[in-house]
Amino acid sequence: MTTTAGTRPPRSSAGAAHAAKRRGPRTEALWGYAFIAPTGLGLAVFYLWPVLQTAYFSFTEWGAFGGHTWVGLENYTRLIADPEVGRAMLNTLMYTALGLIGIPVAIVFAALMNRQGLRGVSVYRTAFFLPVVTMPVAVAMLWRWLYNGDYGLVNQVLSIAGIDGPNWIADPATAMYALVVVGIWSSVGYNLIIFLAGMQGIPKELYEAASMDGAGRVRQFFRITLPMLSPTAFFISIVSVIGSLQLFDLVFVMTGSGQSARANPAYSRLQTVVQLFYERAFVTNDRGYAAAIVIALLVLIAALTVAQFRLQRKWVHYV
Amino acid sequence: MWKSARSGAALLCAALLASACGGGEQAGGTDAQPGEKVTLSYGVWDATQQAVMQELAAEFTKTHPDVTVNVQLTPWADYWTKMKAAVTGGAAPDVFWMNGPNFQLYASNGVIKPIEEQVDTSVYPKALVDLYTYEGKLYGLPKDMDTVGVWYNKTLFDQAKVKYPADDWTWADFKESAAKLTDPDKGVYAVGAELTSFQEYQYNTIYQAGGHVISPDGKKSGYDDPKTIQGLKFWTDLIAAKQSPDLKTMTDTAPLQLFEAGKLAMYWGGSWNVAEFGKNDYTKDKVDVAPLPKGEKQATIIHGVANVVSAKTEHPAEALELVKFLGSKPAADILGKKGPIPAYNGTQNDWVAAHPEWKLQTFLDSVAYAVPYPVSKNTAAWQEAELTHLTKAWTGEVPVEKAAADLAAGMNDLLAKE
């Protein structure tokens, strides 16, 4: 996003004629391009080209074993009329919105860990970070067991308090919330580390000055820590919204993997856009339509990201 | 290429005592020329059968010294996704396992080769030969077969003082036993009305009720047939009567797990469950198997895996020889000792004898009235619709009649697109 100062292209600084005479800056630019070429090439081949191809395929109909015919906007008109797409979009947005609760949770934990003289910080850090380095599939399997309505640990604990817990993942009323909890649990460690780094970057003088002015710890947190952390929070929010919108593995495993997921009574509350894409592309052999679904998701992600960049002016403080 | 294939065929004819290669003599009388070495890839999905497949591959090389078979295992979960990608990219194995739901998709797209030469198919169950015949052409030779029966927990039957299922029991007998076997205090249910496994549950009762899943020409759904609906109600009634766990419970804990924990008295399962129940300490000496109860008709779903040849193989002659060998009696004899039920008639005794404590003959006897697994060109599409619509009937959200009517409409739309 930001380029380092001083390496501007010669045209803007000195004018084309001048630059042509002095070979230096031009070869410098060439070298620059040479250095970014591997990354650029990788991006072009593995990201840009597939995106363009997918966009093209979204206007076609595919055979099960390749071969496609142009169908114009047919996939998109079908997409708008398809109740499953609307439902999957809503589920995904709901998960994304609820998942943002993970940000204040991470800030609170980071603040608690950032206290002076707290012992065993690295132990806590490791404990919180473990879910992040665990494979999502393993996380999902584990939670599937914890949430089991008859034999799961969650309901065992609740039964001590005399509560008869539901089938968390199979009950339409609880499934989405149960999923969000797992999502937050598995991402809080990563967010926490970033926030912790952000907090350690806040100048100590600010706190010293504040305590001299008589501000207590809580007030310092709300008046100094939070505003100073807002750029970090903005970054986390952008990344986690994009991640949530692409949710797949967790739902795929937790609902009951593969086609049997559809036999989960809560499936209509859990199905995400990427999962619908997977079903169309790999289960029912409807790849053109699947391409249209992901292009729609791409547009949604772009729209939400642009909206977030617009909104940041209202709440993000850059020093 | 062609020449080496022919000399290879001649060579194997000389070596092979089996009569399957009768036409060999006129193919070439020349003596064994050291032909070009050929390696065939053979795609399979079952890890438990990998060893016996390698044994069969080695056996094939004994009679065809120029041909080596490379068994490629892809686990079931990825098998069809990978196969589709491999076929699309022109890198499919020369010979691979095929199943019913996928067969017509592959045959209608011309990515597997029909077996052009005359082979004796009377040695296989007719339902399986029909399953792998598309537009009058046979594409694969059946390798194994499976049928469905009722596995039951003898201990739970004894405790409830219920007679073990008789060979000629009916739906009425089943329902009577189910009522007696259910014991809410102990958390024991009669049976789990599983939704996700149509092969073991709904398809059987649908045909037993005299209904059908798909019309014989594969163009119309049978879900709006009142008799088909009877077959579905068989299961939803059990859930309503609390003789089966509800769908939420079965989503969390699969009926197979419940049966193996002594929470279900009966489990509708396949002949393939033999391996599972034989290994499990709980079920090992507590279970036995009975035929499915008779409704208006007697019926069980039969399915089996077949070996097919990729249309793009570079060695079509050798690949066909391998398929013929894998479908032959010597191969079936080897398979029956270690694997599933071989499809070749008369070779199944070893399979039955492996577990004398169970009435495994049940699975073979039921072949007489077995119904082939229902399929069409894009089976996966309407199998998804089955789950989408019937889930609502299973939870009781929508009456079975309505869910079945919606399913029939949805399935007809999908069939029209095939």
Assess whether B279 and B307 both reside in one domain: no
Assess whether B126 and B15 both reside in one domain: yes
- Tell me if ipTM is over 0.85: no
CATH code for position B68 = 3.40.190.10
Q: How many CB atoms lie within 10 A of CB B48?
A: 11
Q: Read off the pLDDT of each residue in A181-209 and give the average, rounded to a whole number.
A: 93
CB contact under 8 A, A263 and B384: no
Q: Say what the pLDDT of residue A23 is.
A: 60
Nearest beta carbon to residue B252 from set A149, A279, A282: A149
Q: Which residues of A touch B195 (CB under 8 A)?
A: 263
- What is the domain count for chain B? 2
Which of the four pLDDT bands, split at 50, 70 and 90, describes residue A267? very high
Q: Which residues of B touch A264 (CB under 8 A)?
A: 251, 391
Q: How many CB atoms lie within 10 A of CB A50?
A: 11
> B346: left (phi > 0), else alpha (psi -120 to 50), else beta?
left
Integer angstrom CA distances of residue A221 from A100, A229, A305? 20, 10, 28
The helix (H) or strand (E) run that includes residue B12 is helix B2-15
Tell me, rounded to whole angstroms, the distance of Cα B138 from its chain centroid. Answer: 18
CA distance B104 to B114: 12
Q: Which residues of B touch A63 (CB under 8 A)?
A: 109
Q: Which residue has the tokens 């919180």?
A: A128
**Distance from first CA to last CA of chain A, Å, rounded?**
18
CB contact under 8 A, A149 and B248: yes
Integer angstrom CA distances of residue B83 from B119, B221, B318? 27, 28, 21
CB contact under 8 A, A264 and B391: yes
Strand partners, B309: B95
Q: Residue B369 falls within a domain, yes or no?
A: no
Assess whether B297 and B342 both reside in one domain: no
pLDDT at A178 over 70: yes
Q: Where are the alpha helices (DSSP H) in chain A?
A: 10-14, 16-21, 23-43, 49-57, 74-81, 83-99, 102-113, 121-133, 136-146, 153-160, 175-200, 204-212, 217-220, 226-245, 249-254, 267-270, 273-278, 287-315
Residue type, B133: T
Assess whether B163 and B220 both reside in one domain: yes
Q: Say what the pLDDT of residue A294 is.
A: 96
Q: Map out the domains of chain A as residue ranges.
A: 10-57, 75-315
Assess whether B310 and B298 both reside in one domain: no
Assess whether B218 and B92 both reside in one domain: no
Residue B152 φ then ψ, to 5° = -135, 155
Q: Residue B96 falls within a domain, yes or no?
A: yes
Q: Read off the pLDDT of each residue in B206-214 and give the average, rounded to a whole number.
A: 97
Assess whether B297 and B308 both reside in one domain: no
Give the contacts of B399 (CB within 8 A, at least 6 positions apart). Answer: B393
Assess whether B86 and B211 both reside in one domain: no
Q: Say what the pLDDT of residue B138 is.
A: 96
Residue type, A178: A
Q: Read off the pLDDT of each residue in B81-88 and give the average, rounded to a whole number.
A: 90
**Interface residue B311 vs chain A (CB under 8 A):** no
- CB within 8 Å of chain A, chain B residues 158-197: 195-196
Residue to mutate among A144, A268, A269, A284, with most B CBs inside 10 A, is: A284
Assess whether B88 and B16 both reside in one domain: yes
Q: Long-range contact list for B51-59, CB < 8 A, 24+ apart?
A: B51/B338, B52/B334, B52/B335, B52/B338, B52/B339, B55/B334, B55/B338, B56/B325, B56/B326, B56/B331, B56/B334, B56/B335, B59/B325, B59/B330, B59/B331, B59/B334
Q: Which residues of B308-325 are buried (b: 16+ CB within 10 A; e: fewer)?
A: bbbbebebbbbbbbbbbb
CA distance B173 to B169: 6
Domain A75-315: assigned CATH number: 1.10.3720.10
Q: Residue B366 falls within a domain, yes or no?
A: no
**Interface residue B384 vs chain A (CB under 8 A):** yes
Closest approach of B283 to chain A, Cα-based (Å)? 20
Residue to mutate among B196, B251, B253, B407, with most A CBs inside 10 A, is: B251
Q: Say what the pLDDT of residue B418 is.
A: 85
Domain of B276 in residue numbering reads as 148-302+378-417
With pLDDT > 90 as the criterion, what percentage of chain A qualifies? 72
Q: Residue B344 falls within a domain, yes or no?
A: yes
User: What digits encode the pLDDT tens for the residues B293-339?
Assistant: 999 999 999 999 999 999 999 999 999 999 999 999 999 999 988 77
Integer angstrom CA distances of residue B292 from B54, B121, B360, B365? 35, 27, 13, 11
Assess whether B207 and B291 both reside in one domain: yes
Assess whether B118 and B247 both reside in one domain: no
Selection from A165, A252, A236, A155 nearest residue A198 by Cα? A236
pLDDT at A85 over 90: yes
Q: Residue B370 falls within a domain, yes or no?
A: no
Q: Which residue has the tokens 């002095």?
A: A22
Give the contacts of B142 (CB within 8 A, at least 6 positions apart). Answer: B124, B125, B128, B129, B132, B304, B305, B306, B327, B343
pLDDT at B19 over 60: no
Selection from B176, B171, B199, B194 nearest residue B293 by Cα? B171
Q: Say what the pLDDT of residue B266 is.
A: 97
Integer angstrom CA distances of residue B348 from B150, B182, B361? 20, 36, 9
- CB within 8 Å of chain B, chain A residues 260-299: 260, 262-267, 279, 282-286
> Minimal Cα distance from A276: which residue of B?
B384
CB contact under 8 A, B391 and A282: no
User: What digits encode the pLDDT tens for the residues A216-243?
Assistant: 888 999 999 999 999 999 999 999 999 9
Q: Say what the pLDDT of residue B35 is.
A: 66
Q: Say what the pLDDT of residue B10 is.
A: 41
Assess whether B251 and B269 both reside in one domain: yes
> Would you say B100 and B375 are in contact if contact means Cβ atoms under 8 Å apart?
yes
Average per-residue pLDDT in chain B? Answer: 89
